[in-house]
Structure 1
Amino acid sequence: MATFNLFNYLEPPNACYEFERIYSAEQWHKKQNWIRDYLAEYQPDIIGFQEVFSPDSLKELVAEQGYEHFAVVDEPQVVDDFIYSRPVVGIASRFPIVECEAIKANMALVQTLGLSSDFSFSRKVIRATIDVPHLGKCDCYVVHFKSKRTMIEIDEACLAENGEKLSPEQIIIETLKAQVAGGWGSTIQRGSEAALLMVEMIARREQSNNPMLLMGDFNNTLVDGVLTHLLTNTLRFVSTIDRDAYLAKYCLQDSWDLYQTVKTVKTDYINESQADGCLLAEQQLNEKLTNASDPNQSENVLRNPTHYFGATNSVLDYILLSCDFDASYHDSLYEVSDYHTYDRHLINPIFDRDGESTDHGVVLITLTLRS
């Protein structure tokens, strides 16, 4: 399964955001071939897409690669006939999509949180229920949370109260104030989107008991506090037994962490087997997985960034999973056997190959049936 930010996937002669931002025929062909090459090489079975301006074109492209099932739940915004803004998310699957809908925020909860009465997700969230082999119906959510871009833009031609133009210094000061307030506004929107989505996911899990998978461009790391509630691991004023059972069933885990646990435990298992001169029983391996602690506490395992901006980098693209994919959970059917960040176009780009690629890494995980 993969999450793939396409970066302005818009078929010419349409323009994204500004009238001069139009792919030439050559650029568009190059961009499509870059996507085809990735799909052909890595063969994900389910893909969550972000920054889709041309869903019909994307549907046709993925169908050529064997993805018979494709869905979006929104349309991009069109300004002046050919200038597009507000791209949508999409999902493609080799397995049947048996149900698909846009997530709606609980407006009573929106009011309780003190948010605007017209609150909505900055990009509609997809919930696609997919019939996954051996697992059955699985709820796959695709998101593109609000970016960090300030919500307040300052027009340099703005006027002071007396009708005079602002001085260059005043414009800088107003821009700074807008950046502080507008940046915080974007943070509030992004964090609220994640919290309201998580509430809907919990409600859906209670009703359907379907395994859950959340993937997309989060526009934020999971460790700075804004989105940490997506990985809730505490429940106050509940007995330990009930707490652990309900947290396991209704909460999500980062696929990276699940992969590190499996990799570390299996490496230790192989080393022990070699030292003993015999292969340990499969049951012993499963017991080790069940009792495994967080491997990142003992190993300094670095995760490849998925986005670079100037001299900084960060992980913005994630795949989160319910306990049905956690090898340490006794009833899980699948485990995360591989985790890969496709990033050569970011760290070692070749223009002829990567000139029209994307500004994000592509995150792909492999899920393997447990024996």
Structure 2
Amino acid sequence: MFNYLEPPNAFYEFERIYSVEQWRKKQHWIAEYLREYQPDIIGFQEVFSPESLQQLVAGQGYCYFAVVDEPQVIDDFIYRRPVVAIASRYPIVEVAAVKANTELALSLGLADEFSFSRKVLRATVDVPHMGNCDCYVVHFKSKRSMIEVDNKNISRTPEQTIIESLKAQVAGSWGSTIQRGSEATLLMIEIIARRETTGQPMVLMGDFNNTLTDGVLSHLLTNTLRFVSAIDRDAYLAKYCLQDAWDLFQVAVTNETPEEEKVPRTPTHYFGASSSVLDYILLSCDFDASYHDSLYQVSAYDTYDRHLINPIFERDGESTDHGIALVTLTLRS
């Protein structure tokens, strides 16, 4: 949502307040996306004003909405620590904030008070033909350094300030990586435990602030299991693990039109001259057409990025800094 905060409140700093016109444009942009693409279930990040968002999406036909946290407010009107949210056209029958297993966190060398940088939302949605489906909405820790240096410290020379900034960047960035990877690990453990208890289908969606291919979050797509027979291994990996919706879509395309050339994946974030996929939708085997008991299959995968690659100020001036991943699921025939 890129700082969805209703004025006259400020995000992070006292002068960062939307004007009436800016706020109107931001709300209009969101409403137009929902009207054009009509997602049935949608996850949001960077929500400072959940009540306003709930009212906005209700006007687009989303009767069900949930959050599990509230932003931090300092100095009466300055907001920090935005939250995640979910909206659905289908009934949300249960909502909970996922809690990390403190015993496991300690065994991993983490602090006993370890917590997610933003609370993870789990909403159980009553999906047509399927019944209860657990939808997780996340916003994992960013790559921003966890350590800040006071660059106005007059007791340091300019060189000392640069050196301290360098050390803070190296250590702070690694600290953020540890936090992000730990969040994904502890969440995956809870997802597996939930699946074991309920057997319900699973969807994990959100801003991962990382690619899934560099190792930090790759365990979210675990596809190997050591010291287990091949038959048992494949069955349990399929039942308890997640797959990238993009990969499932590529398999579906290849099966239907094997001669077609594969289309490269569209990035969801741009920084300078570089680009990457940071936003994902991961699915359980219940949405995998190759799994014999699946009800749905991925029939389309789209990344909405017009506001990033071809922005028009009047239309996109108060949009978002990420592309939006959209998956279409179709009942198997």
TM-score, length of structure 1 as denominator length: 0.89
SS at match of 1:84: strand
How many Å apart are 1:263 and its aligned residue? 1.0
After TM superposition, give the deviation of residue 301 of structure 1 in Å.
Answer: 3.4
Distance (whole Å) between structure 2 residues aligned to residue 157 and residue 64 of structure 1: 48
- Give the corresponding residue for 2:58: 63
Give the aligned partner of residue 286 of structure 1. Answer: none
TM-score relative to the length of structure 2? 0.99
What SS is found at the alignment partner of 2:54?
helix
Residue 198 of structure 2 aligns with an amino acid whose one-letter code is: S
Q: State the distance in 1 between where 2:217 and 2:173 align.
A: 15
> Identity across aligned pairs (percent)?
77
**Larger CA Rg, structure 1 vs 2:** 1
Query: What is the match of residue 166 of structure 2?
Result: 176
Q: Matched residues in 1 for 2:113 and 2:285: separation?
A: 34
1:203 is matched with which residue?
193
Report the alpha carbon displacement of residue 158 of structure 1 after superposing the two structures with TM: 3.6
Q: How does 1:234-245 map to 2 (within 5 A)?
A: 234-245=224-235
Q: Which has the higher contact order (CA 8 A, sep 6+)?
A: 1
The DSSP-based 3-state class of the residue aligned with 1:319 is strand
Shift of 1:247: 0.1
Aligned length: 333
What amino acid is the match of 2:316? D
- SS of the equivalent of 2:87 reads strand
CA distance in 2, matches of 1:43, 1:136: 21
1:302 aligns with 2:264: yes
1:358 counterpart = 2:325: no
Of the three residues 294, 301, 306, the one matched with 1:339 is 301
2:314 paired with 1:319: no
- The equivalences for 1:259-274 within 5 A come to 259-268=249-258
Deviation by residue 1:256-304 (Cα, 9 ceiling, x = unmatched): 0000110111114xx7xxxxxxxxxxxxxxxxxxxxxxx9xxx653100
Aligned to 1:139, the other structure's residue is in SS state strand
Partner of 2:178: 188
Cα distance, 1:116 vs. partner?
A: 1.2
The residue matched to 2:322 in structure 1 has which SS? coil
- 3-state DSSP of counterpart to 1:7: coil
Runs of 4+ in 1 over 6 A off after TM superposition: none
Task: Report deviation, 1:157.
Answer: 3.1
1:156 offset after TM fit, Å? 1.5
CA distance in 2, matches of 1:118, 1:178: 23
Unaligned 5+ segments in structure 2 are none
Match of 1:97 in 2: 92
**Which of 14, 21, 28 is matched with 1:19 structurally?**
14
CA deviation profile, 1:145-195 (whole Å, cap 9, x unmatched): 000000000011347xxxxx0001100000000000000000000000000
SS of 2:85's equivalent in the other structure is strand
Contact 2:103 2:112 in 1 (8 A): no
